[in-house]
Structure 1
Amino acid sequence: MKRILAATALTLLAVPATAACGGDDGGSDGKTKVVFSYWGSDARQKLTEAAIAKFEAKNPTIDVEGDFSDWDSYYEKLATKTAAGDAPDVMTIEIRGLAEYAGRGILADLAGKVDTTGLDQQVLKAGQVGGRQYAIPTGVNTFPMIVNRASVEKAGEKVPDDKTWTWDEYIALAQRITSKSGGDLWGTEWNRNPAFLEIFARQRGESFYADGRLGLSEQTVKDWWALLQKIISTKAGPDAAKMNETGTKVDQAMLATNDSAFGSWWSNQLTALTTGSGQQLDLLRMPKAPGAAGSGMFLQPAMYYTISARTENAEAARKFVDFMVNDPEAGAILLSDRGLPTNAKVVAAVKDKLAPADRKVLAFIESTRNELSTAAVPPKGAMEMEDILERATDSVLFGKASPDAAAKTLLSEADAALS
């Protein structure tokens, strides 16, 4: 998928600024058609179709055509349609692609076009590029540590105070859990997700991106790799080969298969992890570096709704986006599927309908809200960064390159991608 994202970025370079829309002024029945593109699972498709049906019932002159794809093919398909001048009227995109699409004139400025008065204004800013509101967040996520308390207690250990624990304490605890399990359980799983590195860097006062470039220092990247190497060498968690086997799919997570006690995943994945494990899972703050001023954790839009700059059905498209983010009836259907809603009225209306795991996420975000900053929109070229980071990380963990050499390669490739 990361290679597809990189190819998508190249495809976008050829996108004409005059890209047209996917809908038309009206069908034979006289209704206005809006094409809405999105990705996800079968479960998301069913929820979205139910939300569309509710919108159409409330807006009988508008027809919404869902253009659904799985994650692996979504961006490739969207880039191809956009390059051909057939952009959907309403497009779902994620934070890595926002600057890329906005910079090519593909997205409409939605300031004053969609009602955003009820949305979290700080999170709303994460939909801006160059001061213009090109995107409306669907909901928010954070990237916490997730724990299976029963597994920790079975190993004779206690879940630490997440307000004070450090990276070294986390690794030592995970190592003890692995050791006491007799090979039946890893203390922690780990991953190469850029959010993990971003939190680590923020604790050191660095940003992942700064002024359109990579904001990480070589030393911070090397220290993060040293952290991963310590997890592996102490057997607090599996080696890189084992972690590669689990992939990045939540249903393969070691937390979901009860093969680890700790792990870091996006908060909106807690329900899937809980369902897989069949056990109670809880969210914790990420460990901190000694002396760190803050946790480094942040709120990030799960994804965005955007509207084509060339849609012929702008008013209908705006009504649909407004419904999806502001209408409690839409919220009651979608719940936390696209992140927890940022509209306070929608949250209040759906709170009791949320799954127990989602209520935990909501409570966690509310309790840590004053500690969480808001994610900044990455610059153009960010679609390639996850692939660049993974290659460099693997080169270190598999012993193919020294941390010094790999860090230099990482920064060089990042400069090229973001230039």
Structure 2
Amino acid sequence: MTMKLDRRQFLLGTTALAAAAGISPAFAQEALRLIFWGGQARADRTYGVTDLYAKAGGPAIEGEFLAWNDYWPKLATQTAGGNAPDVIQMDYRYIVEYAKRNAIAPLDGFVGSALNLADFDQDQLDGGKVDGKLYGISLGANSVALMINTVDFEKAGLDVPGPNTTYADLTTISEAFKSKGVGKAVVADGSVSEPMYENWLRQRGKALYTADGKVAFDEADATEWYKLWADLRAAGVCVSPDDQALDTGPLETTMLTLNKASVIPSNSNQLVAFQAIIKDKITISNFPRTATDAPGGHYRKPSMFFSVAGSSAQQEAAAKFISFFINDPAASNVLGVERGIPCSKAVRDALAPTLDAQSQVALNFVANLGPLLAALPPSPPAAAGEIDASLFRILGQEVGFGAKTPEQAGPELVKGATDILNRAA
């Protein structure tokens, strides 16, 4: 008979044996539970750090990772059941919602003791605050970015998109792709990408949400957005709705990885992960401009946070682990910039010379956005995640498949988002 133990069973078993033997090494301490989203490359780096932490005398970390689309339903179920992991990877879009429900704990009481934030970037600290309290520790600064297959642009005899590439230029690029037989669309369907919509709005002097959590765009904005992508779709510049529907969340199902499009909207920190699974050279650039003289739509965003569950009985131990994760030099060497640019100046300065070429590209992109960079927007309202998942993406798909026109979807987005926010309030 054979037995197969998962990581949890092994850790619990060894802890019990150690306790029975009357010894108390690091692995005999009660294990902390950690949940995060990401692919195997992120998991390998994360578990590399949890192993370092155990060797340094900390408790064992029992980790679990899921794809983005699977992560939030699983976390919501665990939280509702009072069984949330001690350490939770949290997103800027959801932090207000989880904080206001006391699903994550304020960490202010641990700062300066269990949690060292001595030289943390202030904008990254501020990004983790809700109503003045610190609920999330940024794991890296990043920005939205286009992931670009450089080989396709070489085939087409074109430079890759750059700081002055506009949405109108995508059509010209598509014509070159077709004439040179590149054999795929230029870009994924961005109509379902909330970050791309936000960036487009910011270039027009608008925003997704106001500081007091209201919808900050109008029906004309939303209608024009859907019409922009309907025109790109009709011209074959972006992928078909059938192809876009194949993207279910994991990096492996994106239009870039499936070789359906040469460019997709993403985040700068994901360059490392994409390059690990795609053989062609990948690079990054800013989102398209509405016009070459448009104001910047980008901002330096906390790529993700670590938060501590409000229900955790080991909040101080969880804070100590987070402090190790963001400050330890050996941990930073394992993590690189896969989760974004380190927020500690000391860690950033020590790490920079050790980075490989692709990691340097990601670091330099975030550090040199120049006039494209504008202020960090307020934290999104508590229901922003629901608006993105159950309204924004669905309306984009319905327009893509012809079930709705842009003129129908635009007003529906504004009304639907307003209704969701009002219910949450």
Does the pair score TM above 0.5?
yes
How far did residue 399 of structure 1 move? Answer: 2.0
1:230 has 2:231 as partner? yes
Superposed, 1:13-412 pairs within 5 Å as 28=19, 31-58=29-56, 60=57, 62-71=58-67, 72-111=69-108, 113=110, 114-159=115-160, 162-169=162-169, 171-182=170-181, 184-191=183-190, 192-210=192-210, 211-290=212-291, 293-368=294-369, 371-372=372-373, 373-387=375-389, 388-412=391-415
Residues in 2 aligned to 1:78 and 1:356: alpha-carbon distance in whole angstroms:
35
Amino acid paired to 2:54: E
Q: Which runs of 5+ in 2 are unaligned?
A: 1-11
Cα shift readout 1:114-133 (whole Å, capped 9, x = no counterpart): 22232221122111111111
Counterpart residue number, 1:3: none
How far did residue 76 of structure 1 move? Answer: 3.2
Amino acid paired to 2:152: S
How far did residue 322 of structure 1 move? Answer: 0.7
Residues in 2 aligned to 1:285 and 1:239: alpha-carbon distance in whole angstroms:
23
Deviates more, 1:300-309 or 1:120-129: 300-309
Residues in 1 aligned to 2:311 and 2:403: alpha-carbon distance in whole angstroms:
48
Q: Which runs of 5+ in 1 are unaligned?
A: 1-22
1:299–1:375 contact (8 Å) kept in structure 2: no
Cα shift readout 1:151-173 (whole Å, capped 9, x = no counterpart): 2232233345x33332212x233
Amino acid paired to 1:194: E
Residues in 2 aligned to 1:45 and 1:202: alpha-carbon distance in whole angstroms:
33
- The 3-state SS of whatever aligns with 2:420 is helix
How far did residue 38 of structure 1 move? Answer: 2.5
Residues in 2 aligned to 1:246 and 1:38: alpha-carbon distance in whole angstroms:
20
- The 3-state SS of whatever aligns with 2:342 is coil
- The 3-state SS of whatever aligns with 1:92 is strand
Residues in 1 aligned to 2:303 and 2:408: alpha-carbon distance in whole angstroms:
34
Deviates more, 1:245-254 or 1:299-308: 245-254
Cα shift readout 1:93-122 (whole Å, capped 9, x = no counterpart): 222221111001232222252222322211
Cα shift readout 1:29-66 (whole Å, capped 9, x = no counterpart): 553543333333333333222212212222x2x41332
Amino acid paired to 2:254: A
- The 3-state SS of whatever aligns with 1:245 is coil
Amino acid paired to 2:157: G
1:201–1:296 contact (8 Å) kept in structure 2: yes
Cα pair distance change 1:357/1:314, threshold 3 Å: same
1:202–1:296 contact (8 Å) kept in structure 2: yes
Amino acid paired to 1:398: F
Residues in 2 aligned to 1:149 and 1:337: alpha-carbon distance in whole angstroms:
20
Cα shift readout 1:52-99 (whole Å, capped 9, x = no counterpart): 2212222x2x41332414235433333333333333322222222211
Residues in 1 aligned to 2:261 and 2:73: alpha-carbon distance in whole angstroms:
34
Cα pair distance change 1:274/1:41, threshold 3 Å: closer
Aligned residues with identical type, % of pairs: 26
1:36–1:66 contact (8 Å) kept in structure 2: yes
Cα shift readout 1:313-334 (whole Å, capped 9, x = no counterpart): 3332221111111222211112
Residues in 1 aligned to 2:82 and 2:239: alpha-carbon distance in whole angstroms:
47
Amino acid paired to 1:281: I
How far did residue 362 of structure 1 move? Answer: 0.5
Residues in 2 aligned to 1:145 and 1:76: alpha-carbon distance in whole angstroms:
27
How far did residue 339 of structure 1 move? Answer: 2.5
Counterpart residue number, 1:14: none
How far did residue 292 of structure 1 move? Answer: 5.2
Cα shift readout 1:180-200 (whole Å, capped 9, x = no counterpart): 133623233333210000000
1:225–1:396 contact (8 Å) kept in structure 2: yes
1:95–1:301 contact (8 Å) kept in structure 2: yes
Counterpart residue number, 1:7: none
- The 3-state SS of whatever aligns with 1:256 is coil
1:328–1:345 contact (8 Å) kept in structure 2: no
How far did residue 310 of structure 1 move? Answer: 4.6
Cα shift readout 1:244-286 (whole Å, capped 9, x = no counterpart): 2344432233433554333322222223333444222222222
CA RMSD of aligned residues (A): 2.6
- The 3-state SS of whatever aligns with 2:89 is strand
Cα pair distance change 1:330/1:212, threshold 3 Å: same
- The 3-state SS of whatever aligns with 1:213 is coil
How far did residue 226 of structure 1 move? Answer: 1.7
2:97–2:382 contact (8 Å) kept in structure 1: yes
Cα pair distance change 1:237/1:371, threshold 3 Å: closer
1:50–1:333 contact (8 Å) kept in structure 2: yes
1:139–1:301 contact (8 Å) kept in structure 2: yes
1:250–1:269 contact (8 Å) kept in structure 2: no
2:223–2:411 contact (8 Å) kept in structure 1: no
Residues in 2 aligned to 1:246 and 1:307: alpha-carbon distance in whole angstroms:
30
Amino acid paired to 1:98: I
